[in-house]
Amino acid sequence: MATVNVKLGSIGSHWTAACKQAVADLNSLFRRKGVPVVLAIGGSGPTISVRTDPAIAGTAVHGKTSAETDGGGKLLKADVRLPVKLTINTPKGIRDAGTGMAEVIAAHEFVHALGHEPHNTHLMAQTLQKVLGDRAAGDKLQAGAIAMPPLQLSDDSIDMLKGLWN
Ligand SMILES: [Zn+2]
């Protein structure tokens, strides 16, 4: 089983909580679906470095990820950048978005970092729509008919990750 280190920079308590949740929930999905890779914060193996980037708008629902691989396509290291602060429009004005929404964005970028380049469906959809919760904790991102969290990877994405990590 391959392990991948997730190294969290000074990204603030909100993103730290969201990234930890993304790691836990992706690991649980991978285990259930037989994807042979485990993410570990402060673990060993190739490293995904995570930081925030003021150049990414807080209204965005994505980050930016670049991954470096060896000749065989194996991950050497990856760099994930996230918006500094996520916001969502409400009838009462703009407020900070909840951790669940942040988790989906972090998880989307982590899966890119693991080598999943294309956008298809579910977590790896090209277009994710903000869904306003009654409270920040209920904010979600929607891909087609699927609102996350909980995180959902399509069968295509699972097969792609198995191919990359087997
Ligand atoms: Zn993407």
65-115 pLDDT tens trace: 999 988 877 899 999 999 999 999 999 999 999 999 999 999 999 999 999
Confidence of residue 41 (pLDDT cuts 50, 70, 90): very high
- Give distance in angstroms: CA of 65 to centre of ligand 1: 8
State the pTM of this model. Answer: 0.97
At 68, the amino acid letter reads: E
Tell me how far the alpha carbon of residue 67 lies from the centroid of ligand 1, in angstroms.
13
Q: Report the DSSP pairing between strands 64-69 and 75-82.
A: antiparallel
* pLDDT, tens digit, 9 for 90 and up, residues 115-160: 999 999 999 999 999 999 999 999 999 999 999 999 999 999 999 9
Distance 1 CA to ligand 1 centre (A): 25
117: domain CATH number is: 3.40.390.10
Span from the CA of 109 to the centroid of ligand 1 (angstroms): 6
pLDDT (0 to 100) of residue 73: 76
Cα 73 versus chain centre, distance = 20
How many whole angstroms separate alpha carbon 143 and alpha carbon 131? 10
Domain with 123, as residue range(s), is 2-165
Measured between alpha carbons, how far is 33 from 10 in angstroms, rounded to an integer? Answer: 32
Query: What is the whole-number distance in angstroms between the Cα of residue 128 and the centre of ligand 1?
Result: 10
Ligand 1 mean position to 6 CA, how many Å? 18
Centre of ligand 1 from the C-alpha of residue 62, in Å? 7
Q: Domain count for the chain, please give it.
A: 1
